[in-house]
Amino acid sequence: MRIIFSLILLLSTGLTVSARQKVYDFNSRCEQAYEAIMQLRLNAGRTLLEEEKKENPDNLIPYFLDNYADFFPLFFNEDAGEYARKRGMRGIRLDKMLEGSPDSPYYLYTQAAIKFQWAMIKIKFNEKWDATWEIRKAYMTLKENQRRFPDFMPNKLLLGTMQTVFGTIPEGYKWITNILGLKGSIRDGMSNVNAFIESNAPEARLLREESYYYYCYLMLFIVNKPEETWEFLQRKQLDTKSNYLYALMVANLSLNNQKAANGIRVLEEKHDSNEYADIEYYNYVYGLLKLTRLDNDAHVYLERFINNFKGKFYIKECLQRLSWYYYLEGNQALANKYRNMILTKGGTETDADKQALKEAENGKWPNPFLLKVRLLSDGGFFSEALKLLLTRKAADFPAMEDKLEYAYRLGRIYDESGQDDKAIVMYEVTIKVGANRQEYYAARASLQLGYIYEKRKDKTKAVQCYQQCLDMKGHDYKNSLDQRAKAGIQRVNGS
């Protein structure tokens, strides 16, 4: 009776028996689930997470990793219906993370990572303002966690990634980032990312899978060190056969670094199993890679992407490539069909999509000879491209834009083949003729000249070339070229 009376007394005074403290236990089963999810074996990962929830209901890590399992299909596939069904999970998972101890470094980190992932998702669904605020929340949360737990390595990975990207924002937009408190530089950001990569801390080993993903994209697209990127990939011996995410990453890096043969090989050698998530982005990348090699079946994969992808990113670019494929095949009816679809399908969030729309609205078809040279060059088939290009001279092309493209293509092939002096001559011709035109050739030539002079340690000329690229107005691919030029100035100035 005395025990019962004591319980009644406790309740009557508003006191309750304390609930068990929830924990962030990244145990072996959670590690296995994380590894499966990072390989895009999402169902296998989710099964392990459900087992962990049943056996260890106080462990919050399975709910944190649930967000990874949702992130990849939402980010890659852009299914609006799936987004509508899943978007409410953001708040639920953030609330779940609040059930842990604030004295754990995972308390704020898990919240920041969830916000960061949803920011990336919201960008894909054109919720730019919400995405900006999500990024700010994630950044501020990480800064606070870094202050409280300076030795917790995962802070450095996400902070460094954001700082590196913030460091490339053009001066005209710095006022926005200053208001939002988003400060960064390439030097500081990559210092943090490298600190994580090189760390042997237990938490760094846990999240090593995704750190390689961030590192490679930052090194290639922001830091502009392709040689170091590929050396890193070879040194780490990433498993692109059983890790679908790594296969997609390496294929995409290959597509954007004139290594199409490598990208095609990686996608052909990856394990083909129903165990992996269905990612339509694969068909897009594979189709583009095969088109640069002028493969007869490139259209098969591009058409699969167009027919099955539910998002808006890459659609116009893919339709443009399909129109080019049939144009080069001599099938003008299908070429016109896919070009007309550009006018109504997809979005214009990427520079490539914008350029595809501009070409479709313009109504002019590219010179078929130069188009073949471009595709071969874009794929890194430089000897074939040069051999083809040197069968003609600039004077053989009546249109000024074709003469300009001839000079630019020749410069790029010399550049990528290590013949820098010849490349400089052709780039300078391209800039002189095309600086005030809407084609992107002159701006890209300025950027490439900047790369050459940066490689030669001529900082003054490098900065002049990057600034010249920034100063050119109204050309195709302006946003992406400006970002690369801005990154070049940051690198040269050591900031």
List, for residues 62-80, the tens digit of each pLDDT value. Answer: 999 999 999 999 999 999 9
Residue 183 resides in a domain? yes
- Determine the pLDDT at residue 10: 34
Residue type at 154 in one-letter notation: P
Residue 271 resides in a domain? no
Q: Which CATH number fits the domain that encloses residue 200?
A: 1.25.40
- Determine the pLDDT at residue 253: 95
How many domains does the structure of the chain reveal? 1
Residue 74 resides in a domain? yes
| Mean pLDDT of the region 466-481 | 90
**Contact at 8 Å (CB) between 287 and 305?**
yes
Residue 344 resides in a domain? no
Residue 103 resides in a domain? yes
**Contact at 8 Å (CB) between 352 and 255?**
no
Give residue-wise pLDDT tens across range 278-307: 999 999 999 999 999 999 999 999 999 999
Query: Could you give the CA distance from residue 355 to residue 257 in angstroms, rounded to a whole number?
Result: 19
With a cut of 90, say whether residue 193 has pLDDT above it: yes
Give, as one character, the DSSP assignment of residue 22.
B
Identify the sign of the CA torsion 181, 187, 193, 198: negative
Q: Is residue 132 very low, low, confident or very high in pLDDT (cuts 50, 70, 90)? A: confident
Identify the sign of the CA torsion 353, 354, 356, 360: positive
- Determine the pLDDT at residue 186: 83
- Determine the pLDDT at residue 312: 93
Question: What residue numbers bound the domain in which 183 lies?
Answer: 28-218
The backbone region for 299, taken as left when phi is positive above 0, alpha when psi lies in -120 to 50, beta otherwise, is: alpha
Query: Could you give the CA distance from residue 308 to residue 360 in angstroms, rounded to a whole number?
Result: 22
SS3 477: coil
SS3 103: coil
**Contact at 8 Å (CB) between 53 and 65?**
no
With a cut of 70, say whether residue 8 has pLDDT above it: no
- Determine the pLDDT at residue 166: 81
Residue 327 resides in a domain? no
Kindly state the percentage of the chain with pLDDT values over 70. Answer: 93
pTM of the model as a whole = 0.86
SS3 280: coil
Identify the sign of the CA torsion 279, 220, 251, 407: positive
- Determine the pLDDT at residue 180: 64
Q: Is residue 14 very low, low, confident or very high in pLDDT (cuts 50, 70, 90)? A: very low
| Mean pLDDT of the region 454-477 | 93
For the chain, give the mean pLDDT: 91
Q: Which residues contact 195 (CB under 8 A, 6 or more apart)?
A: 153, 156, 160
Query: Could you give the CA distance from residue 444 to residue 287 in angstroms, rounded to a whole number?
Result: 25
**Contact at 8 Å (CB) between 236 and 211?**
no
Residue 124 resides in a domain? yes
Tokens encoding 253? 């890096």
Of 19-23, 196-200, 463-467, the range with the lowest mean pLDDT is 19-23
**Contact at 8 Å (CB) between 257 and 220?**
yes
Residue 187 resides in a domain? yes
Q: What percent helix, strand, coil does the chain show, rounded to 5?
A: 70, 0, 25
| Mean pLDDT of the region 180-192 | 81
Concatenate the DSSP letters of all residues of 279-309 into one string. -THHHHHHHHHHHHTT-TTHHHHHHHHHHH-
With a cut of 60, say whether residue 171 has pLDDT above it: no
**CB count in 10 Å sphere of residue 376:** 25
